[in-house]
Amino acid sequence: MQHQVMGYDRSATMFSPDGHILQVEYAEKTVRLGSASIGIKCEDGVVIIADKGKKDELIVPESAQKIYEIDSHIMASAAGIISDARVLINQVRTSAQQHRVTYDSPIDAESVIRDISDIKQQYTQHPGVRPFGVAVMVAGRNESECNLYTSDITGNYFEYTAIAIGENDDKLNEELRKKARKDIKIEEGIKLGLEIFKNVLGEKFDIQRFDIAYIKNTEGKFKREKGENYI
């Protein structure tokens, strides 16, 4: 509160005396208010299970998807301010197509997450703007295998074998540390992700709330799946 009174949270470029950028920390809290996503790298590919949250019954379900196709072999999900995510997703979609035209080859997933992270980092060091209030998860095939990455508010990114972002991420990640395995198959990964969501959400769990998509190592193609097939 003292730092707020002194005005250290008024700019994304101002450090507080103890070395914090408060606008960035506020954005991190915003991410934890957004509906969660779980990504799992499997032996035969990668899968993302995303909670769309509770939506108005009048909304057309297909217009509220939480997993986005970047290219035919790359997908992404986000937690936080989804309108912020949309801007980043559109940017890397354009970059992916430019890469195909320029090099006659598909872009790799790490280049996508790096581009997203570079944009997010820029918005932590320019006055007059705020940080992107969103964490982004990217999964896709690099050559012969699939990989999973997550970018945080500051612009850092890491590769994971399994990760959760968004609301209750601490509880979801704790469950993943206990139950995720390197030899898990895609179908098992989907079941595991839904099981973890069910354990954490309890009575709030509703299979209709979830988007599910996967990419196999052999095919390298983005495909959607229905959660009803796994309960």
Percentage of the chain modeled with pLDDT above 90: 73
Q: Which of 20-24, 33-37, 110-114, 169-173 has the lowest mean pLDDT?
A: 20-24
Average pLDDT over residues 172-181: 95
Place of tokens 């195909």: 100
Place of tokens 């006055």: 127
Q: For the whole model, what pTM was predicted? A: 0.92
Residue 193 has pLDDT above 70, yes or no: yes
CATH code assigned to 24-230: 3.60.20.10
Residue 208 has pLDDT above 70, yes or no: yes
Check residue 6 and give its pLDDT: 62
Check residue 2 and give its pLDDT: 54
Cβ distance 54 to 201 under 8 Å? no
Check residue 146 and give its pLDDT: 95
Higher pLDDT, 72 or 129: 72
Residue 40 has pLDDT above 80, yes or no: yes
Task: Tell me the C-alpha distance between 162 and 149, whole Å.
Answer: 9
Check residue 128 and give its pLDDT: 82
Average pLDDT over residues 104-110: 94
Q: How far is CA 24 from CA 13, 118, 159, in A?
A: 9, 15, 22
DSSP state letter for 35: P
Residue-wise pLDDT tens digits, 45-82: 999 999 998 777 788 877 788 999 999 999 999 999 99
Task: Tell me the C-alpha distance between 210 and 55, whole Å.
Answer: 11
